[in-house]
Copies of this chain bind each other. A is one copy, B any other.
Amino acid sequence: MARPRSEDKQQALLHSATEVIATQGLGASTASIAKLAGVAEGTLFRYFATKDILLAAVFDYLIDELEACLGRNSDSSVSIKHRTQIMWDNYIDWGIANPAAYATMNQLAVSGKLAPEQLDKAMKLCGEVGVKLEAVSIEGLSLAQSTEFMDAVLTAIANTTVALATANPDLINAYKKAGFGVMWKAITPDS
C-alpha cells in the first residue's frame, strides 16, 4: 500500500471521521465516514488500512489542529501569567469552536485504542500552556512525574471548562475566566 496520491482525500476522511464519530460514537461505520468524505467505501482503506489505524490517525490529526491553534507565545515582553492566559484562551476557544473535534478527542482518549505515546503527546501539548512556569517538584514525585501530573491536571480543568462553556454559550467568558483562575491556583506552588 504505497502512500496514495491525494492529500485532499486523506484530509477529507480525517475531517469526516471527526464529525461522524462526534455524533455517532466510535461505533460509526467506515461506510458512513467514507460517504461524508465523498469517497467510496473501499477508498478509505487505501488511506487507512484498518479502522483502528484510522482512529489513531484522527487523534493525531486533531492534536495537530489543536497545536496549530494554540500558537506560540514567544513574546517575552509580557508577564508569564499573561502569556499563559493567552494560550489558555486559545485552547478554550478552540474547544468551543470545534465541538465535534473536542467530543471525538474525548471519545478516543478513553477508548483504549490509542498508543500510550499518543495520549502522552496530548497531555504534553496541554501542559505547554503552563510550561514556562518554573517546574515544581511535588513531594514524593520525581520532576518528570510532577510535570506529568501538573499537565494532566491542567488538561482536566481545561476540558471541564470547555464542557461547561459549550453547554452554556452565554457564559463563555465567565467560564473561561473562572477556569483560568482555578487552574492558575492549582498549578502555582504555595508561596
Query: Which residues of A are interface residues toward B (Cβ below 8 A)?
Result: 2, 23, 25-27, 40, 42, 103, 106-107, 110-112, 138-141, 145-146, 148-149, 152-153, 155-157, 159-160, 163-164, 168, 171, 173-175, 177-179, 181-183, 185-188, 190
CB contacts (< 8 Å) of A186 on chain B: these are 157, 182-183, 185-186
B2 adjacent to A139 (CB under 8 Å): no
CB contacts (< 8 Å) of A175 on chain B: these are 141, 149
CB contacts (< 8 Å) of A183 on chain B: these are 186
The closest CB in chain B to the CB of A182 belongs to B186
CB contacts (< 8 Å) of A160 on chain B: these are 149, 152-153, 155-156
Given contacts A145-B171, A149-B178, A152-B164, contact A111 B157 (CB under 8 A): no
Given contacts A106-B110, A156-B157, contact A177 B25 (CB under 8 A): no
The closest CB in chain B to the CB of A178 belongs to B138
**Cβ of A169 to closest chain B Cβ, rounded Å:** 13
Q: Please report the C-alpha to C-alpha distance between residue A128 and residue B156 in the assembled complex, in whole angstroms.
A: 19
The closest CB in chain B to the CB of A165 belongs to B149
The closest CB in chain B to the CB of A40 belongs to B2
B153 adjacent to A182 (CB under 8 Å): yes
For this complex, 12 residue pairs linking A to B, each with C-beta atoms less than 8 Å apart, are A2-B40, A106-B110, A140-B171, A140-B173, A140-B174, A149-B164, A152-B160, A153-B157, A153-B179, A157-B186, A182-B186, A185-B186
